[in-house]
Amino acid sequence: MPEDVPQEMPQFAMPPAALARPAAHGDDGVPTPDAEHLGGPGDPRSSRHLAEPAAPGRPLGEPTEPPRTEVGGRRFGWRQLAIVGLVCALVGVAIPLSLQSAERTAAAAQTEQLRGLAERYLAAIAAGDAEAASALVPPARSVPVAPNAVLESATRIDQPEVVHALADGDTGVVQVRYRLRTAVISRLLDAQRVDGEWQLTSSLLEQPRLSDFSGVIIPTVAGVELGYPVPLQLYPGWYRLDSIERSIYQSVDEGFAIDGIPTTDTELAASVRLSQTMLDDATARALVYAEACADSGACVWPDTATVRADGAAQWMGDHPTRLLFIQVPLIAQSGSFNEQVVVQVVILLDELGGVMDASCSGLGSQGEEPVACEA
């Protein structure tokens, strides 16, 4: 190439500038970056992240929420997870509480059943219904229970109440309280549940003792013999013995209390006296004995002396027995002669109350030696 030809540098033309697209503006008028000028998928400014609008009041570019987890086609955020955890916690607490509530409800129902049984038992006794009371709480002993007539005649308990009732599984206990005349009595009664039904295993029955009676006379209440030597069982109440008029003994009505507490021993004590018929019989025997003494000369009395009773015969005893000791005061009189003597009459009774044998003593030189005496 000739030297005089100037060398020119090649010229490169810039490609025509692309037509700028109008900038996008958000709702607040602020231009948004062009997606083409953003980074790749990892760029936090990518269109995926910018597709979600910023929370109100939060500047652009700050992270909003952690990525949501998609489960089953649905996306769960931390709020949903927190709600699920709270629900599970509440359910975990509610189940034991529900079980405890059910147990308390069942225990309360059992307690009310036990209380109702004790209330019906007390009500039957207060009403004088011994048969109903025994049906509710069968007697533990085989000794018969006095019939309704005996309990009806008594001054019965009042203000009965069940103070406490406790059911623990198949066992229970109730505390009952009632008033008997002026006394307030409290008892604990054991209970047991058998085949789903409550039963009281201790009762208010009590058996009195008849130590003052020896079978010669049997005490009665409302015309019902209490029995001897094993008396009937009685429910709580204030009872009164019947007055007895028999050929041997007489008794006056006496009251006694059955409080329903087995540890407090109840002993029946009756004011028993020898019947007037038996006292008259002893006086007649003493007079026959005195006449025999005068006729035999063992008694130094004037031939004209008369012997008669000098006051009432005295029974030297305090409770019925088959062997009677009776003192008969006599007086022998003739003019100015007066002599007072006492004849001892001993009478042996048979099992039916008849006289088996009788002896007299106290007169003459052999006064201490008993001899048979007839009426």
Per-residue model confidence as pLDDT tens for the chain (375 residues): 444 444 555 554 555 554 444 444 455 454 555 444 444 455 544 444 444 455 555 555 555 555 555 545 455 567 766 676 666 665 555 555 555 565 566 668 889 999 999 999 999 999 999 999 999 999 988 899 999 999 999 999 999 999 999 999 899 999 999 999 999 999 999 999 999 899 999 999 999 987 666 566 778 899 999 887 788 999 999 999 888 766 677 776 678 999 999 888 888 766 778 888 899 999 999 999 999 988 888 888 888 889 999 999 999 986 778 889 999 999 999 988 999 999 999 999 887 778 899 999 998 766 678 899 987
Residue 277 CA: distances (Å) to CA of 100, 249, 263, 311, 356: 77, 9, 41, 15, 16
Cα of first residue to Cα of last residue in the chain, in angstroms, is 199
Provide the pLDDT for residue 182: 94
Which residues, in sequence order, are CB contacts of 84 under 8 Å at separation 6+? none
Report residue 306 CA to chain centroid gap.
Answer: 71
pLDDT tens digit sequence for 350-375: 877 788 999 999 987 666 788 999 87
- For 285, other C-beta atoms within 10 Å of its C-beta total 25
Cα separation, 243 vs 232, in Å, equals: 19
Position 182, amino acid: T
Helices (H), the chain: 47-50, 78-126, 130-136, 148-153, 276-296
Cα separation, 38 vs 44, in Å, equals: 9
Provide the pLDDT for residue 367: 66
Q: What's the half-sphere exposure (Cβ side, CA atoms, 13 Å) at 170?
A: 5
CATH of 106-200, one of 3.40.50.410, 3.40.1000.10, 3.10.450.50, 3.40.50.2020: 3.10.450.50
In this structure, what token pair is assigned to residue 174? 């109730």
Phi first, then psi: give them for residue 107, nearest 5 degrees: -65, -40
Which residues, in sequence order, are CB contacts of 95 under 8 Å at separation 6+? none
Provide the pLDDT for residue 321: 80
